[in-house]
């Protein structure tokens, strides 16, 4: 657990990080391990609740580099074998082992997972302060931006500031800098999505064998992340230790007439209306008070890197979570931004070039995620040339995996076009599908 810091916050540092989620924690770990003086300010008290419990195995290579893999393994999170979608009555499955992944994906309780990362950052030498709310950043001195904050520890609400050479915005959906710069953009102004999610006890789960299983069988049959289409949106089902996360993604237009006090009824009705989910939840009990809501969740931000600032993780963009890219994006963004910052600290005259290179890499990665997850909805803010360049660098096994993933929903037309233009797609491709067997 993150140790509560009673000491005073420094008046200056090399790098100031806003936010202690996975992106901010990973950046703090990397920088602190490199001897950089890093201060991280987090508004919440950890551990805290968070959604986004599904992790694909790609994150392990970043965890290894940060020296945190062993701590993650020791937590005993649920290992998942892949994903299954039931989209418009068509079944598709991805098994990680089929594509050479020796380590599994995970279903994690984000309060525990995020706290583990933030504690590791602290153990590595980063100065971590929770209950500190950043209010404003003054960039008038480009060499030493000033960050103004309220320190709410001990209920004092003390106001102060800190000078830094570089600022990392890892504030998540708050998109602190993008809101300040007015550079946050919705993926498609005409088709915004929102999410509702909650938790159930004693739910059954979908196993890698495409069958329904009781929760106590979790050690015998590995689970998958289960996704099913619903009207113009979709719903996730993710079994955790002691509870199951169920989330609904729908166009905002369909939800416009629903009052706040009716949200839970709407959510439960959707769960009952989808036959596969209704069967999985037939003996489950909804955890009262667990329902949460997030509007307009798909967005991107322009100018996410500058000569003295970097926006990473959800503070830079957020695509549809259907392929569980969120944590992978956070780890990746932290890695490339820290490379740029460490180079800038050594060669300050080149810092603008480093930030521009970082911006290209991150926009490329975000564009890839948006094109894959949102399909025709995600063309806004996607640099097609950058995405095609990235596709060309993928290994044959990665290309096969991505092509299969793109076929799991009906949103693949835009991505298929990009892949064709990149020369890695042909009409002879047949996605992985044994049959439509799904015994729920």
pLDDT digits (tens, 9 = 90+) for 320-334: 888 888 899 999 999
CATH 3.50.50.60 residue window(s) in the chain: 12-53+110-184+299-353
Whether 346 and 287 have beta carbons less than 8 Å apart is answered as no
What phi, psi does 362 have (nearest 5°)? -70, -40
Please tell me whether residue 25 adopts helix, strand or coil conformation. helix
What phi, psi does 195 have (nearest 5°)? -130, 145
What phi, psi does 320 have (nearest 5°)? -60, 135
The CATH superfamily assigned to 12-53+110-184+299-353 is FAD/NAD(P)-binding domain (3.50.50.60)
Give the separation between CA 49 and CA 43, rounded to whole angstroms.
13
CATH 3.30.9.100 residue window(s) in the chain: 79-107+193-294
Cα distances (Å, whole numbers) of residue 175 to 12, 139, 178, 237 = 23, 17, 5, 27
Please tell me whether residue 10 adopts helix, strand or coil conformation. coil
The single residue listed with the structure tokens 């996704």 is: 227
The pLDDT value recorded for residue 5 is 57
Kindly report the number of other CB atoms within 10 A of residue 357's CB atom.
16
The pLDDT value recorded for residue 394 is 85
Whether 311 and 205 have beta carbons less than 8 Å apart is answered as no
The pLDDT value recorded for residue 413 is 75
Give the separation between CA 265 and CA 196, rounded to whole angstroms.
11
Give the separation between CA 178 and CA 169, rounded to whole angstroms.
9
Point out the residues of the chain with pLDDT beneath 70.
Answer: 1-6, 189-191, 375-379, 426-436
The pLDDT value recorded for residue 48 is 93
In CATH, 79-107+193-294 is 3.30.499.10: no
Please tell me whether residue 284 adopts helix, strand or coil conformation. coil
- Residue-wise pLDDT for 375-425, tens only, equals 655 567 788 888 889 888 888 888 888 888 888 887 777 778 888 888 887
Q: Pick from 72, 52, 77: which is nearest to 62 by CA?
A: 72
């Amino acid at each position: 657990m993150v140790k509560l810091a009673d000491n005073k916050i420094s008046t200056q540092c090399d790098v100031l990080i806003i936010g202690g989620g996975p992106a901010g924690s990973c950046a703090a770990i990397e920088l602190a391990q490199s001897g950089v003086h890093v201060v991280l300010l987090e508004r919440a008290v950890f551990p805290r609740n968070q959604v986004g419990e599904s992790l694909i195995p790609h994150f392990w290579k970043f965890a290894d580099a940060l020296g945190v893999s062993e701590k993650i393994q020791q937590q005993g999170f649920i290992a998942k074998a892949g994903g299954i979608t039931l989209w418009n009555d068509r079944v598709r499955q991805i098994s990680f082992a089929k594509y050479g992944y020796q380590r599994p994906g995970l279903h994690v309780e984000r309060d525990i997972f995020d706290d583990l990362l933030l504690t590791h950052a602290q153990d590595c030498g980063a100065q971590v302060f929770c209950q500190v709310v950043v209010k404003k950043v003054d960039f008038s001195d480009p060499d030493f931006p000033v960050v103004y904050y309220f320190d709410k520890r001990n209920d004092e609400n003390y106001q102060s500031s800190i000078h830094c050479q570089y600022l990392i915005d890892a504030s998540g959906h708050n998109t602190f800098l993008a809101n300040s710069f007015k550079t946050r953009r919705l993926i498609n102004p005409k088709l915004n999505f929102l999410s509702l999610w909650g938790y159930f006890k004693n739910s059954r789960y979908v196993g890698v064998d495409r069958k329904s299983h009781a929760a106590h069988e979790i050690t015998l049959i590995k689970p998958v992340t289960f996704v099913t289409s619903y009207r113009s949106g979709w719903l996730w089902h993710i079994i955790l230790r002691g509870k199951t996360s169920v989330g609904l993604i729908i166009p905002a237009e369909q939800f416009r007439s629903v009052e706040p006090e009716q949200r839970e009824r709407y959510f439960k009705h959707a769960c009952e209306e989808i036959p596969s989910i209704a069967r999985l939840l037939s003996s489950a009990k909804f955890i009262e008070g667990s329902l949460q809501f997030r509007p307009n969740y798909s967005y991107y931000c322009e100018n996410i890197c500058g000569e003295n600032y970097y926006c990473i993780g959800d503070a830079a963009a957020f695509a549809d979570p259907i392929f569980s890219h969120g944590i992978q994006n956070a780890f990746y963004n932290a890695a490339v931004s820290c490379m740029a910052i460490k180079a800038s600290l050594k060669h300050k005259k080149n810092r603008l070039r480093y930030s521009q290179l970082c911006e290209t890499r991150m926009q490329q990665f975000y564009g890839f995620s948006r094109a894959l997850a949102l399909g025709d909805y995600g063309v806004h803010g996607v640099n097609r040339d950058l995405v095609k360049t990235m596709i060309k660098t993928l290994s044959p096994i990665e290309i096969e995996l991505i092509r299969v993933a793109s076929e799991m929903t009906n949103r693949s037309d835009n991505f298929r076009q990009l892949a064709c233009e990149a020369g890695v797609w042909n009409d002879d491709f047949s996605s992985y599908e044994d049959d439509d067997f799904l015994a729920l």
